Amino acid sequence: MKLEEIKELDSKYGAKTFSRFPVAFTGGKNATLVDEAGKEYIDFGSGIAVNIFGVNDEEWKNAVVSQLNQIQHASNLYYIESQARLSKLLCERAGAKRVFFANSGAEANECAFKTARKYAFQKYGEGRARIISLKDSFHGRTLFTLTATGQDCFHQYFDPFVPEVTSAEASIKAIESAGDGKACAVVIECVQGESGVTALDKEFVKELEAYCKKNDILLICDEVQCGNGRTGKFFAYEHYGIKPDLVTTAKGIAGGLPLGACLFYEKTENVLCPGDHGSTFGGNPVACAGACNIVERLTKEFLLEVTGKAEYLRTKLSKIDGVKRVTGMGLMIGLETDKPPKEVATECLERGLLVLTAHTRVRLLPPLTITKTEMDEGLAILRGVLQK
Ligand SMILES: *Cc1c(COP(=O)(O)O)cnc(C)c1O
């Protein structure tokens, strides 16, 4: 189908929830995509940190197709081999005890929040149900996770929100006062993605860990965007030397298939019991087969390569005229530019480069497998757009 036909169908029948760029992709290889008219693009977005091994990765496709050739869905009423294998891989990789699988980041957070509430209820009874997030956070679009999202721009129209969920500035004082003795959990993104790619302060995060431990408040790390190797560690919290009680992830974990995961650690591994939580699709055999392949390949050696690529890209980016500041961590990059980010994204697209925006910044989340040639091609386009 030609772009014009696709656009017409979408604008007539699709919900109006998305303002889309005028392009439809049909294929490509690694970080080079092709649209329906045959035009090529360098991909600095990975479909928002999802295609972390690019597109048409042979090994990943083989893992997925081999599962498809067996059975596509079974239900969590039965045992699922690829899901069981993935649970072990994730626990070993992240030092976790158990995993619950969902289909998205919001659902993974939903599971973590419910777990925190049950943990506190069983231990302290009523009155400790409060979940505290940080200002400028993003945790998803379901009502619970939207309430926890600390950005007012997402909060229009959807009152009333979930009670006992609130946001605080990134300081222990603010968190203590927001909790008021009623908090069961604090949720953080070590690198805040949607609000502009901002890494949290190391000292604050360490203090927060100590504060949470002392008060038996669960620390939840939302690694939906910053996890899965993006910052050069398997999870971004590893840069901070902390031990969270719950970790959530999604986006890149299955290399492009919908999968979310909530990881439980010592305090939380036995909180949820049969009947407490569930999902029809969560931990689907095909998504889990894809994720097993991804997680197996996010080795220490591979993550060192990610760090090297990030250093290369960041150095080059900081030297571009029109880039005022480079933020974030690893291959999760924010750019403060002279030009408004939306304009940058539109001009880049015209010239064959995909970049994202996040609030007031340009956001780059390239596939972790991006080659030096692809980075150089993308940089040349970005230079042209920003220096004009
Ligand atoms: C994208 C994102 C979510 C929501 O994930 P969905 O899969 O869209 O539900 C939650 N938290 C963070 C940090 C995210 O970046």
> Each residue of 48-60: pLDDT tens digit?
999 999 999 999 9
CB proximity list for 103: less than 8 A, separation 6 or greater: 258, 259, 260, 279, 281, 282, 284, 287
Q: Which atom of ligand 1 is nearest to the CA of 225?
A: 15
Is it the case that residue 344 has pLDDT exceeding 70?
Answer: yes
Rounded CA gap, 296 and 88, in Å? 11
| Percent of the chain whose pLDDT exceeds 70 | 100
Q: Ligand 1 within 6 A of 222 CB?
A: yes
Q: Ligand 1 within 6 A of 257 CB?
A: no
CA of 138 from ligand 1 middle (Å) equals: 7
The answer to whether residues 187 and 133 touch, using CB atoms and an 8 Å cutoff, is yes
Q: Which atom of ligand 1 is nearest to the CA of 103?
A: 7
Residue 60, classed as helix, strand or coil, is helix
What pLDDT shows up at residue 76?
98
What pLDDT shows up at residue 327?
98
Q: Ligand 1 within 6 A of 225 CB?
A: yes
Q: Ligand 1 within 6 A of 104 CB?
A: yes
Supply the pTM of this predicted model. Answer: 0.98
CB proximity list for 289: less than 8 A, separation 6 or greater: 63, 64, 66, 67, 82
CA of 310 from ligand 1 middle (Å) equals: 22
CA of 338 from ligand 1 middle (Å) equals: 28
Do you find a cis peptide bond into 160, omega within 30 degrees of 0? yes
CA of 227 from ligand 1 middle (Å) equals: 11
Rounded CA gap, 120 and 310, in Å? 40
Between the alpha carbon of residue 291 and those of residues 152, 278, 305, 360, 365, the distances in Å are 34, 20, 20, 32, 19
Rounded CA gap, 348 and 177, in Å? 44
CB proximity list for 67: less than 8 A, separation 6 or greater: 82, 285, 286, 288, 289, 290
CB proximity list for 19: less than 8 A, separation 6 or greater: none
Closest CA to 280 of 142, 67, 115, 78: 78
Band of residue 279 on the pLDDT scale cut at 50, 70, 90: very high
Q: Which atom of ligand 1 is nearest to the CA of 145?
A: 10
Average pLDDT, the chain: 98
pLDDT tens digit sequence for 92-102: 999 999 999 99
pLDDT tens digit sequence for 357-385: 999 999 999 999 999 999 999 999 999 99
DSSP annotation of 255 reads S
Closest CA to 245 of 86, 123, 368: 123
Closest CA to 93 of 353, 337, 295: 295
Choosing from 113, 136, 139 the residue with most ligand 1 atoms within 8 A of its CB, the one to mutate for a pocket test is 139
Rounded CA gap, 63 and 155, in Å? 40
The answer to whether residues 294 and 52 touch, using CB atoms and an 8 Å cutoff, is yes
Residue 359, classed as helix, strand or coil, is coil
Q: Which atom of ligand 1 is nearest to the CA of 226?
A: 13
Q: Ligand 1 within 6 A of 378 CB?
A: no
The answer to whether residues 116 and 131 touch, using CB atoms and an 8 Å cutoff, is yes
Q: Ligand 1 within 6 A of 379 CB?
A: no
What pLDDT shows up at residue 388?
66
CA of 339 from ligand 1 middle (Å) equals: 27
Q: Ligand 1 within 6 A of 51 CB?
A: no
CA of 321 from ligand 1 middle (Å) equals: 32
DSSP annotation of 237 reads G
pLDDT tens digit sequence for 30-44: 999 999 999 999 999
Q: Which atom of ligand 1 is nearest to the CA of 194?
A: 15
What pLDDT shows up at residue 16?
97
| Percent of the chain whose pLDDT exceeds 90 | 99
pLDDT tens digit sequence for 215-242: 999 999 999 999 999 999 999 999 999 9
The answer to whether residues 320 and 329 touch, using CB atoms and an 8 Å cutoff, is no
Q: Ligand 1 within 6 A of 363 CB?
A: no
HSE (side-chain half, CA atoms, 13 Å) at 83: 24
pLDDT tens digit sequence for 155-193: 999 999 999 999 999 999 999 999 999 999 999 999 999
pLDDT tens digit sequence for 135-147: 999 999 999 999 9
What pLDDT shows up at residue 387?
87
Between the alpha carbon of residue 319 and those of residues 104, 199, 386, the distances in Å are 37, 21, 11
CA of 74 from ligand 1 middle (Å) equals: 26
Rounded CA gap, 197 and 54, in Å? 21
Q: Which atom of ligand 1 is nearest to the CA of 142?
A: 9
